[in-house]
Chains A and B, each alone.
Chain A
Amino acid sequence: MLRIEHLTKSFGEKIAVNDLSLHIAPGEIYGFIGHNGAGKTTTLKSVVGIQNFDAGEITIGGVSLKQDPIGCKKMLAYIPDNPDIYEFMTGIKYLNFIADIFGVEANTRRERIKEYADRFELTADLAQPVSAYSHGMKQKLAIISAWLHEPRLIVMDEPFVGLDPKASFLLKEMMREVCRGGGAIFFSTHVLEVAEKLCDKVAIIKQGSLIRSGTMDEVRGDESLENVFLELEAEAEA
């Protein structure tokens, strides 16, 4: 579903991502772990095509992001770490805007908006302007908009931040549903317990370079993911 080959991205003299390669298959939930400033967000932004990269290749569903960015974007959805959504729109207008852009049919979008907004208990607030939403409500709206066009790949940057426990649980369920339907999830998180319970595969990044990746069992062995992560961090520093 997603192939990242030798991805490199620099900001001036600082190398944010260095020769990173990852493969995510359909049906996989792939966790991306690293400390602050490790290069997670840069990688995610490059994958979803909102940031150019210096070298490497990214393909989504076999389509090259560089050669056909629009084709790739049609297959994916992205939820950033801070959901800065158009504050001048109401929730429903934003969802309709996204649905119009992705060409979601009127009946289908109505059903999906109802289903997801009901699940996240946001239906009553859809007529409110986004400017009146709390952080968590904006996050829920961003999630609904991401699911609206049934993307094959969903990329999320710290998706659980700001969500209440019920919404977090729902999101995890929805992530699993996507994978059961043949889609893939690639998300970054600092919450290692979540990654441990939710992910099929995990990648650990340090100073822009991949220091370990694989299935959860391959990465952690007999230890907890937290211990492995801290050990790898220490090794990389040494």
Chain B
Amino acid sequence: MLKTLIKKQFTELFRTYFYDQKKNKARSKLSVIAWFVFFITIMCGVLGGMFVSLSVSLCRGLMAADMSWMYFAVLGLLALCLGLFGSVFNTYSGLYLAKDNDLLLSMPIPIRLIMASRIVSVYLLGLMYCSVVFLPAMIVYWINAQLSFATVAGPLVMYAVISVFVLILSCSLGWVVAKISLKLKNRSFITVFVSLLFIGVYYFFYFKAQTMIQNLLANASEYGEKIRGSAYIVYLFGRIGEADPAVSAGFVAAAALLFLLIWRLLTRGFVDVATAAAPVTKTRYKEEYIKRTSVSAALLRKEFGRFTASPNYMLNCGMGILSLTAAGIVLLVKGQALLAPVQGLLAEFNGALPVMLCAVSCMLVSMNDMATPSVSLEGKSIWIAQLLPVTAWQVLKAKLNVQLILTAVPTVFCNACALIVLRIPVAESLMYMLTPLVYALFSALLGLTLGLKMPNLSWTNETVPIKQAGNILIALFSGWGYALLVGGAYLILGALLGPVPYLILVCAMTVAASFFLFRWLKTKGSEIYASL
């Protein structure tokens, strides 16, 4: 039975990879392989690549100082953080809010099996994220160390322990969110607020981590002593990687014990939480004056309503709003101090700083991808939009406009803040302002195109179209690719042109690509939407 439930979870999780909803048939084996290769390339190539260089820079130095435990402690903690960060936002909805709760609970399935199948999903998500850090760390270690049973087994045990700790922490937080949610009124906004606090703390440490790691390398032995003295648990944690049998056994036992505790906690209260209706305060309807609005305004309001109703949607697809705003404030407050060393690094490239900042701005813009899952999120209620006397293009335009509005405003703010600090000539300023906005248009059009190309209307958990869909992954990483291309190409070729002509060229190419996508959405895309 558990196997069947897990298979069901996996079918949903990887549905996009196996099933082409547009053609209403299973993908070919070749297509499935291509999808998985693409996914693995993105995860390993882009994210993993970052941690390969970090592992390389730490490994040799710390091994030479006979402090491999510190190498494992640092990367292990990073893996723990990333694993938790990647999985925690979906744990609550993944464990408790699936639409098949009633169906499964009505069947003769023990609750522990339902929970076990869902925990497997949470575990896999956490494992995927912590692997991005710890797999490169292990490989780099194995390359540098003399291979033996201990050097191979130690990191593997630690990898397993980390993944279980990620699961425990993620499930604990999911349970806390579930308990709090049952008593909250404005759940969406409170969940978003708490999550943002968590993200803020995460990024605070993330940015501090750079300096901390550099310091660590410079004063490894001193820090080593300090950690042993005041944070002995961290030392022990690192010792798992060195295959200390007693320590490893202790951590494995602790992980098993904590897992049992959280397991009991989750299974005991599952029915209460999963079947509890939202804490609806009986709001009595009071008739009030209603103003008639235009069709486009009504469609836009509906799309905004969809976005703001779901913390999951806001957190996963609207991070650009916060990032752009925060980046603007940081630039205003600490701009000069932050940009001076970058300017020094880029001194040999003519006018590179504004272009690089432009690229960063585009990367932040790409963190807004609310248009991508907006088609799938229509789910079973898509018949309403198809039935209304409006064209499919009007509906799609509303989805597009939500992303454009929510991206353009913080982009203008962020760029205006940067311009105050940069003090560059008017033409450069204009292009600096324009390029991320043009990219915001392209990004929204591309996101919606991907949403139509890879729709999933039969989800039972909204996390699937919001976070786990292939189109979301492509939308996010294509944004990163665009930013890298804009920045990288300038260092290679653009410096010869100068920033203004280069950015004009970038804008022209982006506008051309946007025009192509716009035409497609208005014609073929609209046809696809109407026939979904």
Contacts of A73 in B (CB 8 A): 387-389
CA distance A50 to B384 in the complex (A): 9
Given A70-B389, A101-B295, is A88 in contact with B310 using a C-beta cutoff of 8 Å?
yes
Given A70-B391, A85-B384, is A110 in contact with B379 using a C-beta cutoff of 8 Å?
no
Shortest distance from the beta carbon of B429 to any chain A beta carbon, whole Å: 40
Shortest distance from the beta carbon of B427 to any chain A beta carbon, whole Å: 44
In the complex, A49 has a CB within 8 A of chain B: yes
Contacts of B291 in A (CB 8 A): 106
Given A80-B383, A92-B285, A123-B285, is A132 in contact with B277 using a C-beta cutoff of 8 Å?
yes
Shortest distance from the beta carbon of A111 to any chain B beta carbon, whole Å: 11
CA distance A164 to B51 in the complex (A): 61
CA distance A80 to B381 in the complex (A): 10
With beta carbons under 8 angstroms apart, the residue of A50, A99, A127 that contacts B286 is A127
The reply to whether A109 and B290 form a contact with Cβ atoms under 8 Å apart is yes
CA distance A162 to B293 in the complex (A): 33
Contacts of A106 in B (CB 8 A): 289-292
The reply to whether B302 and A86 form a contact with Cβ atoms under 8 Å apart is yes
CA distance A99 to B298 in the complex (A): 9
With beta carbons under 8 angstroms apart, the residue of B292, B390, B391, B530 that contacts A99 is B292
Contacts of A99 in B (CB 8 A): 292
CA distance A126 to B305 in the complex (A): 17
Given A50-B386, A127-B283, is A86 in contact with B306 using a C-beta cutoff of 8 Å?
yes
Given A73-B389, A127-B284, A132-B277, is A93 in contact with B383 using a C-beta cutoff of 8 Å?
no
Q: Please give me the residue from chain B that is nearest to A104 by CB atom.
A: B292
Which parts of B293-335 form the interface with A (CB within 8 Å)? 293-295, 297-299, 301-302, 305-306, 309-310
Shortest distance from the beta carbon of B398 to any chain A beta carbon, whole Å: 11
Given A70-B389, A78-B387, is A132 in contact with B292 using a C-beta cutoff of 8 Å?
no
Shortest distance from the beta carbon of A222 to any chain B beta carbon, whole Å: 40
The reply to whether B531 and A101 form a contact with Cβ atoms under 8 Å apart is no
Interface centre among B297, B301, B386 (most CB of A within 10 A): B386
Which parts of A89-125 form the interface with B (CB within 8 Å)? 89, 91-93, 96-106, 109-110, 114, 123-125
With beta carbons under 8 angstroms apart, the residue of A48, A70, A85, A89 that contacts B305 is A89
Shortest distance from the beta carbon of A53 to any chain B beta carbon, whole Å: 11
CA distance A218 to B49 in the complex (A): 76
Contacts of B284 in A (CB 8 A): 124, 127
Interface string of A49-60 (1 = CB under 8 A from B): 111100000000
Contacts of B293 in A (CB 8 A): 100
In the complex, B278 has a CB within 8 A of chain A: yes
CA distance A48 to B387 in the complex (A): 7
The reply to whether A88 and B384 form a contact with Cβ atoms under 8 Å apart is no
In the complex, B222 has a CB within 8 A of chain A: no
With beta carbons under 8 angstroms apart, the residue of A74, A78, A80, A110 that contacts B287 is A110
CA distance A74 to B389 in the complex (A): 5
CA distance A92 to B391 in the complex (A): 24
Interface centre among A100, A114, A123 (most CB of B within 10 A): A100
Q: Please give me the residue from chain A that is nearest to B292 by CB atom.
A: A106
Given A125-B285, A127-B285, is A101 in contact with B388 using a C-beta cutoff of 8 Å?
yes
Interface string of B362-391 (1 = CB under 8 A from A): 000000000000000001110110111111
CA distance A101 to B387 in the complex (A): 11
In the complex, B1 has a CB within 8 A of chain A: no
In the complex, B280 has a CB within 8 A of chain A: yes
In the complex, A84 has a CB within 8 A of chain B: yes
The reply to whether A110 and B290 form a contact with Cβ atoms under 8 Å apart is yes
In the complex, A26 has a CB within 8 A of chain B: no
In the complex, A224 has a CB within 8 A of chain B: no
Contacts of B295 in A (CB 8 A): 100-101, 103
The reply to whether B381 and A85 form a contact with Cβ atoms under 8 Å apart is yes
**Tally of contact residues, A, Cβ under 8 A:** 44
In the complex, A82 has a CB within 8 A of chain B: yes
Shortest distance from the beta carbon of B82 to any chain A beta carbon, whole Å: 31
Which parts of B387-428 form the interface with A (CB within 8 Å)? 387-391
Which parts of A9-27 form the interface with B (CB within 8 Å)? none
With beta carbons under 8 angstroms apart, the residue of B301, B379, B380, B531 that contacts A97 is B301
CA distance A125 to B280 in the complex (A): 11
The reply to whether B389 and A124 form a contact with Cβ atoms under 8 Å apart is no
In the complex, A209 has a CB within 8 A of chain B: no
Interface centre among B295, B302, B391 (most CB of A within 10 A): B302
Contacts of A70 in B (CB 8 A): 389-391
Interface centre among A50, A102, A123 (most CB of B within 10 A): A50
CA distance A161 to B277 in the complex (A): 23
Contacts of A97 in B (CB 8 A): 298, 301-302
Contacts of B277 in A (CB 8 A): 132
Q: Please give me the residue from chain B that is nearest to A100 by CB atom.
A: B298
Interface string of B53-94 (1 = CB under 8 A from A): 000000000000000000000000000000000000000000
Q: Please give me the residue from chain A that is nearest to B392 by CB atom.
A: A69
CA distance A219 to B425 in the complex (A): 84
Contacts of A125 in B (CB 8 A): 285
Contacts of A64 in B (CB 8 A): none
Shortest distance from the beta carbon of A74 to any chain B beta carbon, whole Å: 4
Q: Please give me the residue from chain A that is nearest to B309 by CB atom.
A: A88
In the complex, A61 has a CB within 8 A of chain B: no
Q: Please give me the residue from chain B that is nearest to A102 by CB atom.
A: B389
The reply to whether A96 and B290 form a contact with Cβ atoms under 8 Å apart is yes
Shortest distance from the beta carbon of B431 to any chain A beta carbon, whole Å: 39
CA distance A114 to B297 in the complex (A): 24
CA distance A106 to B297 in the complex (A): 15
Shortest distance from the beta carbon of A76 to any chain B beta carbon, whole Å: 8
In the A-B complex, the 3 residue pairs with the closest CB atoms: A88-B309, A100-B298, A73-B389
CB pairs A–B below 8 angstroms (23 shown): A50-B383, A70-B390, A71-B389, A73-B387, A73-B388, A73-B389, A78-B387, A84-B383, A86-B306, A86-B381, A96-B290, A98-B388, A100-B295, A101-B389, A103-B292, A105-B292, A106-B290, A109-B290, A110-B290, A127-B283, A129-B278, A132-B278, A132-B280
Q: A86-B302, A88-B305 are in contact. List 20 more A-B contacts (CB 8 A).
A: A48-B387, A49-B386, A49-B387, A50-B383, A78-B383, A84-B379, A85-B381, A88-B306, A91-B285, A93-B305, A97-B301, A97-B302, A98-B388, A100-B295, A101-B295, A101-B390, A103-B292, A114-B287, A124-B285, A127-B285
